[in-house]
Structures are given as structure tokens and as C-alpha cells.
Structure 1
């Protein structure tokens, strides 16, 4: 039984998480901690390499730096509290901590939806408009698109995250669809708001991704050489994999019926996109990207200096190599 503050706000929320399976919690703790460390290190390496190596001062890696920083922030807003709950018998989060986690996680989640659409447009410009790529993806536009992604995500979080907070949440972090499933009051207006926000920041960016890649596919089909097909595939494959992982999990969470009784299934999907996906993103981009691996080797061997601070330096040279 929880105590209620004089202003009718709960002092703490109960996050049951996976407490119904106590034998699973130590294994999950080690698993999640390992993934979190790899995620932070992997995304941190991408940020450092992209900023240090002048050959990576291009729009593609500028947006990748934003994505890596976003993934670190998103994981950090959720995983430490989750690990605390797994480690000990206390399965609670303070009201203030829950509100902060709620707003930050939804801000970053919405930002990633828009950012992935922006990155798809960048790949469209690189493949379909190679001769005009430098003029199209100029630094001011790239900075504006990145800023719009972060601002748009913040706006929808501020507007859409004003919900009734419950005393008992059968989950391991504050998740909007789940809160509405467990609410004891009428949530019709909240559901409408959630679906509108989901359309604007999930479905619409996904549609932009699909449009961009349909145009890319049409352009690739016109390529006659196998070498051209290979280059186009290498240019887009990493981003396509990240988009598939991200949207495959988030669409399940946010577009399922609000009253669906699937808490355990929802926990596993949420665990995947909150913990596993941020770790996979840097692995996907580094394992399939020879430029990043080469830059990383140079840094490790001490052959790459810090010369040049502008992220778009030598853009035309690197564009020719990529396209």
C-alpha cells in the first residue's frame, strides 16, 4: 500500500518488471548491464571517430553522431533504474524520477523517428542526386534538420506526456500505452492524443523512409553494373537495418490496441528497443562500414590527428568515395 502526498501525487511508483520470475532477475541484470556497457562504448566510439577523422566530416556521419548521442541518452534514461530494480528487492521509482524518465524517453523516442527519416532523405540525395548532393545537403540544412528532429521530439513529449500517473505499474519503465492500459479512469482523450502523436512522429516518418527508399530502389534498378549495385547497397544497408529494428519494435508497442492484455509480451518488446536496439546500431554501422573501421584503426594506431573541427570538411572528396 502506497502513501499519497497531500497534493494527491504518489510518493513512489511500483515497477514490477520481471519480479514474478525472481530467478530470472540476476541473469537479466548481467545481460542488461553488459548490453548497456557495449551500447555506451559503441555509440561513444562512433561519436569520437566521426568528430576526429576529417574523412567522416560529412552529412551522413553528422546525422550518425546525433543518432549515437540519442541512443546513449535514451539507454541512460531507462537502463540504470532498471538495473537498480533488478539488483535489489526494492522495485520502486520516485514520482519525480518517473516523470523525468517519462518525458525524456518519449522526447528521445520521437526524435529518433524523425532523425531516421532525415537520414533516409540524405541517402536518397546521395544515390538519386549524386551530382547535386553537396548543394542539397549543405551544412545549414543539415543543422536545421537535426535541430528540427530534436525540437519536434521535445514538443510532442511536452504536449503528449501529460497523463495520469498510476501508483502501480506492471512494467520496468514508464511507458505511455501501458499506463493507459492500467489506468482506472477514462483515457479516451489520452488515447486519441497518443494515436495522433504516433501518426505524426511514427507513421509519417516511416512513410518518408518508405518514399525515400522506393525512389532509391527505382534509381538502383536503372543501374546496369554490378559494382553500382554493390555501392548502392553498401550506402543504404546499415540505415535500412537500423530502421527495420527500430520501427519493428516501436510500431508493435504504440500501434497495438490500448486495451490489449499482453503485458509480458510488451515488456520483452520494450526491453528489446530500449536496451538491445541502441547497442545494435553502432555494431551495424561499424561492421558494415569500411570507412568507419579504417578511421578507428587510424585512431587506435595514433595516425589520425585532431586537425580540422568542421564536420563538413572535405565533403566533396568523401562523397565521391561513398557514391
Structure 2
């Protein structure tokens, strides 16, 4: 039976090595010294633009709030997904229940690395996989603007996730596969500045690909089908293809897209609907140059067939 003892011993050793490797691979990774050195006191006026580009109110405003009350970022919206229900937290300036006690470094680590001040992994329902492409200066400006917003007491409910998705540590492995500061679309040398600016807004703070791109079994965005449309996160409904081949905007000009983002009206005078209503409200807060840049980028990305199943005809 000596061979059996050796086999068991080898299995224990291999199991220990595997567990150790998993622990290392899933460890939180914070910004390094070089990245932190790029942070500086931000400008709240510039940060307001980034706030609306990032659509912070869409998830973190208290459900049902209107007008200025949407700047009270108490959280509480339920996001239903195949992995469970995620609930965006209170990110108001309340020092106990929100992020009022966070330093600029804490905020930057959350936005760019998906790591909390206590070292916990944030779930990627918080779209830091897109925010990771943002400039440190914009993070600092956003932090400065957030400091001007009201404090709201009260914690949002916890996420409701089953095993194994309730193990936050495992998100560290996910990040090694999907978290990158590099642009999704490599544009050729000589690309106009307007298109480059649009790429930054769409791929970074605007996080458009989080909804408009299909995902794989692990919930990672399929970059090879960038902006090709997807089944909505809750499993019902379709988020449209917004590449140049997309049925929704295929025949739209750059001016049509920019006008839609500003006014909410399509070239056919239909109006924005569904979850895009909130997105359009945020886009309307940007400058005309920003909206024109987004439109130029959307016309420059590679065309893809729809990233969602064909709809069945009505019976």
C-alpha cells in the first residue's frame, strides 16, 4: 500500500500548491506608486462632466428619485443578472454609510482597480473594467466633484448572490482575465483627434460596452464582438447593436447620433426608451464636442453582426 500513501501525499501537495496559487492569483491588486504619482487635487467643475459621462446617477441614485434628488447617491437599485442580484451601494458623502471618508487614493483604487479601501474585491457589476481606461486626472476631477454632493445616511441592501458568486476573493481571478487599461479598439495612426476622444468617452467613463457587447460564460465582455449588441443582463430584452452594421443606427449620420444623445429623438422623430432614457439624460449634460466625438467613434468601430439571437417572429 506504499503506492497509495504516495498517491495521497502527492494529491495533498498538489492541492496545497493549487490552493496557494489560487490565493495569490485572486489577491487584490492596488495602484502602484507610478500611477498614484499621477493623481493630484482635482477640479470639481471638470469632474461634473466626468460624473455625467460615467452615468453615476443611473445606478446609484435612490430608485424613483427625481430632479436634484438624483444627486443623493444613496444606492438601492436592484440589478438582476444570471449571477444573482447586485445592489449598487451608497456612494454619497456620508462618512459612515457612503464614501465620505475615502481618500482620493481610495477612490482611484476603486475606480481603476476595483478594490475597496479595506482590500475587498468589488464585483464587476460596478463597471471598473471600463473605468480602468480612464485618465488619473479625470479620476481626481470626479473625486473633487463627488465631494460637492450631499451626504445621505443609510446603507443600501447587500447583494443577493448564491455560491460560488458570493465569494468576493474569486473576482481577483476574473480581473486577471478581463481587467485591462488598454483601449478595446486599436485605431490606426493618423486617426482624427475627435475619434480618439470618442473612443476614450465610450470605452472609458461612458462604459457603453458593458451593456452593448455580449458576454461570455464568466461574464466577461467579448471584445471581438465589441458593441454588437447583447441580451440584457436580466436575461430578457435586447440591447441593440451600435456598430455601423447595427440595424438601429446603420443609416444614421454622425449628426443624427449626436442629436439623439442630446435630445433623445431619433432621425424618424421616435423617442428614446427603456434604460437608454437615463443614459441619454446623462449624455445631454456633456458638451456638443463630446457628443460629436462619441458619434464619430461609433461610426469608426468595426462592424459586427448582432451579438444576440435573432428574435422569433410573432405567431
User: Which of the pair has the greater relative contact order for Cα pairs under 8 Å at 6+ separation?
Assistant: 1
Question: When you count helix as a share of all residues, which structure comes out higher?
Answer: 1
TM-score by length of 2: 0.23
TM-score of the aligned structures, taking structure 1 as reference length: 0.23
